[in-house]
Structure formats: C-alpha cells, structure tokens
Structure 1
Amino acid sequence: MPRILTQSQIDTFWKDGCVFPIRVMPKEDALELRRRLEAFEKEAGGPLKGDLRHKSHLLFTWLNETVHHQKIVDAIEDLYGPDLLCWNTNFFIKEANNPAFVSWHQDSTYWGLNKPDVVTAWLAFTPSNKSNGAMGFIPGTHTADQIPHRDTFAKDNLLTRGQEVAVDVDESKAVTIELEPGEISLHHVRLVHGSPANPSDDRRIGYAIRYIPTSVGQVAGRDHATLVRGTDTFHHFDLEPRPTKDMDPEFVALHKQIAEESAKILYRGTDVKSYNDPKALHDNRAA
C-alpha cells in the first residue's frame, strides 16, 4: 500500500511525469525554513549564490532534516521503493522584479547518472504561481529519451549551463505548477520543464531535492549522496554524513570538496571549473 500518495497520484506521475500539489508540512513550517534562510543571508550580507545553493543540506541542519522529512521520503518511496538516496539539492530563488528564468530543459542532460530513475521533490518555501514565475511542464515528455540540448550560459538563465532543449516546444500544452508553502511537486528527470521570470514584489523560493533509488549509479566521476531510507547495497556513491550544527567548519570544507567534484561532472566539456566561476556565476544565477 502507498504510504502517502494515492494510487491516482502515482498513476498521474507515471502518465504525465509530474504530480502536484502534495502537502508535506504545515505552511508555518515552510515559512520558518524561509526565515532561517533569510536570517543566514542577512548575516552573510546577501542572497545565497554559487556553490552555497548546491548541496546546502550539508551546511545547515534544518535543510538536512528537510531532505530526511518523513512525508517527503514517504512520497518518494511510493514511486521508487524503500532504499533511497538524496543525490543533490538546489535552491531555485527568483528575486522580486527580476529577469531570471529557467529555459525549457530536461534535468537528466548533464547529471551523469546511468539511468533515469530520478525524481525531484520541489518544496515551496513561498507561494509559487503564475504571478511570480512558477514552473511549468509539458505532460508526457518524460517518456521520450534524452533530448539534445544546447548550452547558452545566458546571464539570466538559472541553470548551470543555461541549457535549453534544441527542439521546438509546444508551449500551448504547458501546465503551470502552483504551490503553497509546505507543498511539493514531484517531477521525473526526463520531463521537459521551465519557468518564466518573477515580476512580483516578493521573492519566489523553491528547494529542489533530487532523490534516486540506491541502484542508480554515476558514470561521469566521483560522486556523493545521502542515504535517507533503507540500505545501500550497491555503494555507487560516497555516503555523506549529517551535520550537527550549521556551517560547521568541517562540513564547510567537506561541502567545498563535494561541490568541486559535482561541478566537474555538471560542467564537463566546458571551460567552467566550479559553481563560482565567473562564467557560471551571475547575480541572478540559482543553479
């Protein structure tokens, strides 16, 4: 029996490549996550950028607790079984009245994983809707194989390489994912999706948690992941420890090492060396 998803939601995920909304925590809990994020940003002197937006669950205990959140992991287990890793996490933050956008793309393009058994739980810290640049997707496109992409490194594109699908997208078929704080959407790694800019007067903050069954491997380099449920009998990834305090110096050093290795995978074939490389890092870049 499914733990949290209904059979209808499971069927929708496999048919369309995405299911939403799924309430996983009270609105107040999600707003507290936003408060913690913005308290750190205020102390640090500005919004998160560069490698701080990647694998942030290794730096902050409250984000590590989030990737282990029972209801979120229950939903992933309903799709992919009981042995699960959190492979990566990424903040997608669109500042108010800002041109930053996400081009139409498939997540799987540069990740180096050996099979498409990957699902993203996109957790809303703020409302996400048509007025502030919510994500949209083209239903059913996850059933296609990998689509060719082109790199743009466009200044306002929030993706690592500004990648976009190198084929025409029928935007008339797009579905907008509207979420309230504390709700998630689940989308498949091969789903074609993207999002427009945020013209509203408030930030739009989403936290993308990438989950894989332990059977998935990495073929493009050394990689790390966090075991969130069950056992890992495959040992394809170096398992990440859990931080016991925020910005622990040992974990800051570990995070830097892991982020550098992750960047080598995501930017392979380009001259970009890290998430903090000037070519990859713009004021608006989120991932």
Structure 2
Amino acid sequence: MAGRLPPAFNASPHLLMPWLWDIVHDRRLIDPIEEILGPDILCYGSSFIMKRPQDRKFVSWHQDATYWGLSSPEAVTAWIALTPSDRDSGCVKVLPGTHLRQHDHVDTRDPLNLLGRREKVVADIDAGQAVDLVLQPGQMSLHHVLVIHGSEPNLSKEPRVGFAVRFIPGHVGPRDGLRMSATLVRGRNRGSCHLEEPPEGDFHPAAVARHAQMFRRAMRVIFAGAGRAAPGPSAPRDGR
C-alpha cells in the first residue's frame, strides 16, 4: 500500500480510506493509549512506513517531537506491523531513558534517510544500548514522542511495512499560533485543534479536498521554526 500511495496521500491516509479511519479508532489500539495519555485522545497523524527488500534506506536517530509543532511533548506513536519487523528487515530501535529531554537536530539532506526532513539528533549515541522492537504482523509497539529511535536498512528479501499512528491528549494543541487539525478518537477535544471528518469513501472527492487542506497546514507546521521542540513536561503520566 505505502509503495503505491503518492507521498502527499501517505500523510494521514486514515482521512482518505474508511478502513484506516476504523483502525485509528479501534479499541484494541486506543485502550492502551488511554492508559498513558488519559481519557481524551486525538490522532495527530498516521502514515505507512515501508522499506523495500535489500534497500539501503534507513531512519536516522531522531525524536518525533522535533518537527510536530506541539504545545507540549505529550504524545505517543503506535507502530503497527503489517509484515514481520525484525533485525534483518530493519525494525525500530529505541534508546531507553532518552525521553527525558529534547535534543537539537540537524537536517542531513541524505537521500537515503526516510525522514521527511532527513533530520538526525545531535547527541552522543551509544547504539549498543538500543533495544530492538521486534514485531510480528498484527503486533504493535508504543514509544514516547521524545525517545530517540531509528532503524537500519532492510537486508531481508521481503518488504517491511508498518502503519504508524500518532496520538496526543485532548488538551495538547499547536504552539505559537500554528494551525493544525487532528482526529478525535476518544473523549473530548480540549485544545485548539480543528477536528477532522471521516472519509465518505475511499478517496472520495470531498475527503481528498479536505485532506489537501490538512496537508498544507501540516507542511507549514513541519517547516516552521526550524524544528524548535515543544516546551513543557517531557513524559506522559506513567513516565514511559
């Protein structure tokens, strides 16, 4: 799926396809998120993440919060495996304990880096301390918006495909007057996010038009402020 979607459509594709809208609302996904973020939950975005077999592309060490434009770094990414994600295929690796502070990032312009701005964290990385998040299809991992993570190239003979869904609590919104939208998945929207609507059907014209507006807002957020991180507390309620 990710390999066939134009890049713009891979930004929050749950706004374009009802079956993905259903996934981001699925209680099997949302119940554990509520344990971390509380009863009011917004989906801030989603995307397919694909590595082709025996490809040199990778994801550099980074923190998700850097370019998200959030008023507070209270967020969780759910990474859902659609194919096996292991060391050979370049599974996600995390550095435990690094969620306690924000680090500076630089844009590397490396064309093999799968991140949108080719960014990487400016920090001393001890890769030997990294933990591999090995997943089978249908399993998911959760990581904090500030934990340093990345992944190696896919050295296997099969594609590695995941669906990443980003969640924020209902009181979090954009910082510095930025405009952004989000999908309410449980509880109430207590921040300043514009609430997104479900797609009428797969790539319905009305949904595509709304998605285009969302995409333009999202690009302005990503490229605003040279990647300044959100202020405030860095850990969710349970400290993960």
TM over 0.5: yes
CA 1:78–1:182 in structure 2 vs 1: closer, same or farther (change >3 Å)? same
Q: Which has the higher contact order (CA 8 A, sep 6+)?
A: 2
Residues 1:102 and 2:59 are matched in the alignment: yes
Instruction: Give the letter aligned to residue 130 of structure 1.
Output: R
- Give 1:269 deviation, angstroms: 5.3
Asked if 1:237 is matched to 2:193, the reply is yes
Q: CA shift at 1:90, angstroms? A: 1.8
Q: Which has the higher helix share?
A: 1
TM-score between the two structures when normalised by the length of structure 2: 0.90
The alpha-carbon distance between structure 1 residues 159 and 227, as it changes in their structure 2 partners (threshold 3 A), is same
Counterpart mapping for 1:240-251 below 5 A: 240-251=196-207
State the aligned residue count.
225
* Structure 1: runs of 5+ lacking an equivalent: 1-36, 271-287
Do the aligned residues in 1 keep the contact of 2:200 with 2:207 (CA within 8 Å)? no
**Other-structure match for 2:46:** 89
1:191 aligned partner: 147
Task: Please give the TM-score of this superposition, normalised by the length of structure 1.
Answer: 0.76
Tell me, in whole angstroms, the C-alpha distance in 1 between the residues paired with 2:22 and 2:134: 24
- Percent identity over the alignment is 43
Secondary structure of the residue that 2:88 maps to in structure 1?
A: helix
Residue 216 (structure 1) aligned with residue 177 (structure 2): no
What is the match of residue 80 of structure 1?
37
Structure 1 position 219, deviation (Å)? 1.2
Unpaired stretches in structure 2, ≥5 consecutive residues = 227-240
- Please name the residue that 1:160 is paired with: 116
- 4+ residue segments displaced more than 3 Å: none
Name the SS for the 1:121 alignment partner: strand
Distance 2:67 2:142 in 1: 20
Shift of 1:244: 2.8
Q: How big is the alpha-carbon RMSD for the aligned residues of Structure 1 and Structure 2? A: 1.3
The whole-number CA distance in structure 2 between the counterparts of 1:77 and 1:269 is 30
Is the partner of 1:131 in helix, strand or coil? coil
